[in-house]
Amino acid sequence: MTLLDRPRTTAPHRTPDARPEITTAANSPSSAPVVLEADRPADVVAFVERIARLTTPDQIHWVDGSTRERHALLQQLVAAGTLTQLNPDIRPYSFLARSDERDVARVEERTFICSEREEDAGPTNNWMAPEQMRAELEPLFTGSMRGRTLYVVPFAMGPIGSSMTRYGVQLTDSPYVVVSMGTMTRLGSAALAQIVRGQSWVPAVHSVGAPLNNGQKDVPWPCNETKYIAHFPKEREIWSYGSAYGGNAILAKKAFALRIASVMARDEGWLAEHMLLIKVTSPAGKKYHMAAAFPSACGKTNLAMLTPTTPGWTVETIGDDIAWLHIGKDGRLRAINPEAGFFGVAPGTGISTNRTAVDTLWGNTIFTNVALREDGDVWWEGLTDTPPARLIDWRGEEWTPDSGRPAAHPNSRFTVAAHQAPSIADTWDDPEGVVIDAIIFGGRRRALAPLVVEARDWDHGVFMGATISSEQTAAAEGTVGQLRRDPFAMLPFAGYNMADYFAHWLDFGKRLRRSARVPRVFQVNWFRKSPEGKFLWPGFGENGRVIEWMVARLESEACIDETPLGGIPRQGELNVAGLDLPEEDLTELFRMDTDELEAEADDVEHFFQTFGDKLPAELRHQLSHLRSRVRAQREAEAGTA
């Protein structure tokens, strides 16, 4: 057994060797319960000591989550050059980080699922045998924190005390990660107190992979050319090396809340999903909750913070990225947002497109890889219609509108607390969760996919989710604009074989059908274009009109026309009053070309073949039904020709 292996005992391991200095935040003003050193869980202490022996940090700091501690860390990061404090008169207590140019996005080709068997990881994940991965990681982590502080970060994913909440402990040598975790999770003594009371926890180890020799000067953004993000589903364990960027390093987010949690959800009978959550209120005052899955940078935050243009309708935010869905005691599908903050894509978020998001960022925000204005505030493409005359771009270089390059990185981000959003719902952190009335899948398609379509039943909805396709965005590595299948928007995030994941969704639906009303399932596409390349739908606040139609369907107040892809609004039932939307554009938004449908079915079949015999039979049946309906449409077109 190596130091990377989890010990079989929970007793703390004591070593006679010299130990790094232990620090905590003193005189904490936080209202969180204080966990004394003597009361720390033995298994957590053993974990910390084991990793400290491996990584040899100079200090160990147990994070308590206090305001005093956060302030000290932020000032430490400013002094190190990692953060630049913005003009406090414009953007109070906010900061800008510029990452290393080699560390700007998820590194999917370096992200591994280390299940015992390769088939358990499936064809959409990178796999490495656990013993091989541990052999790769041990020499990298040996001494990796030399000259640095090891931070012990206990955290909760979900409201403290909720039966749907899960807990973790991340060890990291990056103070930038600590302050980011402080925004994105319920962090510190309150979470550790739950572990003390016996809650299970997921261990996560992170190092930027940049040890310091005595007297060596640090760099503002330490990272390493070599990168690994390794998940061990059986052990419920995460190891990350070499990156300080976003989900590569904030391990509570994609690594825990999706990849490891999806395995936990399969084993425990719930769903861990890449979904936003919204609360919709009709003019009559009736409330609905919806969960929606969109690939990254395809409009999730805009929908999560939607301001409908139609009178009397409101949309409130519960979560913008991740949802955990359980069958409640009442048999209804319930969901929580396990996160405590937003880690949003900045470009495209602007005053004219998402005023709510802009208002959320008034202060107390960390920006990464956006541009710096001369007045000490930030800017990115899409924030305003007209760019400033002069900026310092995300690389730290002078920029003007004539520079011929983006001022902000296409995947630049903001990190801000969820409670700061003016659109936040009063139920956003309800420990009982919210009842889900509808599930929405969406992608980014220039053609074929209609503005909105309703699934015929749960199994057809699973087929919709399994076949989501989207043009590649800057949030992940790859050719921007290339179309890829991104089932359930979980392609980079499912922690096990996606064919088994599809089967879990189908089985989950059977349980729902036995217990209560099954949510309706819809698919949307805000990005349909005309043959000339013009967006056909205005989007943004006008997307509330589509939500309005969905609610009408929930109340059985609207009819549909059947198509090969599902039910679309009957003519005249989608509210387009007051829109400058030509009738031919409205028709094009729902037109389904038979040749394109046949090509789509062929592409889906090709995608399904990657899963071999593990693909659930229900999805093969759904594909067969699609082909039958396409043939019927072709015959109908021939009959009217």
Q: What is the pLDDT of residues 204-237, one digit of tens each?
A: 999 999 999 999 999 999 999 999 999 999 999 9
Which run of H or E residues covers position 278?
A: strand 275-281
Work out the angle between the directed axes of helices 458-466 and 617-640 (0-180°, nearest 10): 90
214/357 same-domain check: no
Instruction: Indicate if 408 and 551 belong to the same structural domain.
Output: no
- Whether residue 152 lies inside any domain: the answer is yes
Q: Are residues 515 and 571 in the same domain?
A: yes
pLDDT of residue 493: 96
Pair 374, 276 in one domain = no
Residue 427 has pLDDT above 70, yes or no: yes
Last residue of a domain, one of 361, 386, 420: 420
Closest of 211, 213, 237 to residue 224, by C-alpha: 211
Q: Are residues 520 and 585 in the same domain?
A: yes
- Find residue 240's DSSP bridge partners: 206, 229
DSSP conformational letter for 29: -
Residue type, 201: W
- Amino acid, res. 10: T
Angstrom distance (rounded) from CA 425 to CA 51: 40
Q: Are 319 and 428 in contact (CB under 8 A)?
A: yes
Residues at the annotated binding site for GTP? Answer: 297-302, 413, 444, 540-543
In a domain, 129, yes or no: yes
One domain for residues 155 and 171? yes
3-class SS of residue 183: helix
Cα separation, 379 vs 374, whole angstroms: 10
**Annotated binding residues:** 106, 245-247, 254, 274, 296-302, 321, 411-413, 444, 540-543
Q: Are residues 441 and 543 both part of a single domain? A: yes
Quick: pLDDT tens for 114-146: 999 999 999 999 999 999 999 999 999 999 999
Specify whether 415 is located in the same domain as 546.
Answer: no
3-state helix, strand, coil in the chain (%, to 5): 30, 20, 45
- Does residue 496 sit in the same domain as residue 550? yes
Q: Would 62 be classed as within a structural domain?
A: yes
pLDDT digits (tens, 9 = 90+) for 566-603: 999 999 999 999 999 999 999 999 999 999 999 999 99
Rounded Cα–Cα distance for residues 361 and 365 (Å): 6
**Rounded-to-integer distance, Cα 455 and Cα 521, Å:** 5
Task: Dump pLDDT digits (tens) for 474-494.
Answer: 545 555 557 789 999 999 999
Q: Is pLDDT at 177 greater than 90 in this prediction? A: yes
Q: What is the CATH number of the domain that holds 393?
A: 2.170.8.10
Domain boundary among 420, 445, 467: 420
Question: Which residues are tagged catalytic?
Answer: 298
What is residue 517's predicted lDDT score, i.e. its pLDDT? 82
**407: CB partners within 8 A, 6+ apart:** 370, 371, 379, 380, 381, 387, 391, 393, 394, 399
Parallel, antiparallel, or unpaired for β 366-368 and 413-417? antiparallel
String of DSSP letters for 369-398? S-EEETTS-EE-TTSSSS--S-EE-TTS-E
Identify the CATH number of the domain in which residue 286 sits: 3.90.228.20
**Hey, what are 136's tokens?**
């790769």
As for how many domains the chain has, the answer is: 3
- What whole-number distance in Å separates Cα of residue 251 and Cα of residue 273? 16
Domain boundary among 268, 288, 312: 268
Q: Is 13 or 559 the better-scoring residue by pLDDT?
A: 559
281 and 258 within one domain: no
Tell me if 598 is assigned to some domain.
yes
Domain that holds residue 520: 272-338+429-640
Q: Is residue 505 in a domain?
A: yes
Statement: the pTM of the whole predicted model exceeds 0.85? yes
Rounded to a whole number, what is the distance in angstroms from the first to the last CA of the chain?
73
Closest CA to 492 of 243, 254, 241: 254
Task: Answer yes or no: is pLDDT of 5 > 80.
Answer: no
Per-residue pLDDT band at 30 (split at 50, 70, 90)? very low
**pLDDT per position as a tens digit, 239-294:** 999 999 999 999 999 999 999 999 999 999 999 999 999 999 999 999 999 999 99
Compute the distance between CA of residue 409 and CA of residue 404 in angstroms, rounded to an integer: 13
Integer-rounded Cα Rg, in Å, for the chain is 25
Asked if residue 236 belongs to a domain, the reply is yes
* Backbone dihedral region for residue 77 (phi beyond 0: left; psi -120 to 50: alpha; all else: beta): alpha
Instruction: Note the pLDDT tens digit of each residue in 286-338.
Output: 999 999 999 876 778 889 999 999 999 999 999 999 999 999 999 999 999 99
Closest CA to 425 of 286, 257, 287: 287
**Each residue of 88-104: pLDDT tens digit?**
999 999 999 999 999 99
Query: Does 94 map to a domain?
Result: no
Which residues define the annotated binding site for substrate?
A: 106, 245-247, 296, 411-413
449 and 574 inside one domain: yes
**Angle in degrees, CA 152, 416, 489, rounded to 5:** 90
Is residue 147 included in any domain, yes or no?
A: yes
Q: Are residues 280 and 255 in the same domain?
A: no
To the nearest 10°, report the CA torsion of 585, 587, 590, 596: -90
CATH number for the domain spanning 28: value is: 3.40.449.10
